[in-house]
Amino acid sequence: MLLNTGGIASDAWLFTVDAAGIELLDADVSTNRTGVQVANSNGVLQVRLRAPVGGTYASVSVSSAAGDARGHVGINLMDAVPPVARANVLASAGQSRVWVSWQTNSEPDIAGYRVYYRAGTARPPWDGTAAVEGAESPVSVTGTNCLLRGLALGTNYFVAVSAVDTTGNESPLSAPLSVALTQTPPTPPTAVVARLGGDRTNVLMWALSEDDD
């Protein structure tokens, strides 16, 4: 904030602040004047504002108590800016699964991500469905990876990821990735354990194989 001479307005100059659609939290430092008076500090005028719940637009007007300095600014209270599209998305296939991972968004208001998939072609509608089990497209997750399960063997799938913020704005889809599910023998079971049951029978246990089929 500068004086007409070009110097910094370092003294406590008074400004009348008028806020519409938003609450001004600063106290009036000069009650003998009309409106709310706020003093600048070392060339900077700073005001504290609190947005209402459900508001969409606000404005703040400032005019100097001495002289004719004035300004006006509009404030959009509704976030209409979507997150940026995801980059560096990776996808790898099992026999009937696709593992998808990506880097987190830098925006502070990210609520989660959506993983879209479809068999055959990389275009809308992204309405992929699991052949055996698993979630339909899009799959909503809060982390940065997703396992698509129960997909059809011998099928080519396309996968894309979007980011969603806390307001519900959704980013554009990432560049689609093509993943082919090649029919191969299942992976061997792991954690095989044999034990003697209470009726002197043998009980054999193991972890599931990697593939859903």
Evaluate if residue 55 carries a pLDDT over 90: no
What mean pLDDT, rounded, does the chain reach?
87
Full set of structural domains in the chain with CATH:
14-76 (no CATH), 90-180 (2.60.40.10)
Q: Give yes or no for residue 7 having a pLDDT over 80.
A: no
pTM of the model: 0.61
pLDDT band, very low/low/confident/very high, at 173 (cuts 50, 70, 90): very high
Considering only residues 162 and 195, tell me which one the structure prediction assigns the higher pLDDT: 162
Per-residue pLDDT, 213 = 52
Question: When comparing pLDDT for 77 and 23, which is higher?
Answer: 23
Q: If pLDDT is split at 50, 70 and 90, which confidence band does 3 have?
A: low
Note the pLDDT of residue 210.
Answer: 60
In tens, the pLDDT along 196-208 reads: 877 778 888 888 7
Q: In terms of Cα–Cα distance, which of 31, 39, 37 is closest to 10? A: 39
Q: Residues 156-160: what's their mean pLDDT?
A: 95
> What pLDDT is stored for residue 113 in this prediction?
96
Higher-scoring residue by pLDDT: 15, 210: 15
Name, in order, each residue with C-beta under 8 angstroms of 91's C-beta and a sequence gap of 6 or more.
98, 99, 100, 101, 159, 177, 179
Of 111 and 195, the structure prediction assigns the larger pLDDT to: 111
pLDDT exceeds cutoff 70 at 188: yes
Predicted confidence band of residue 10 (pLDDT cuts 50, 70, 90): low
- Please tell me the distance from the alpha carbon of residue 38 to that of residue 13, in angstroms, as a whole number: 8
**If phi over 0 gives left and psi between -120 and 50 gives alpha, with beta otherwise, what is residue 46?**
beta
> What's the pLDDT score for residue 211?
59
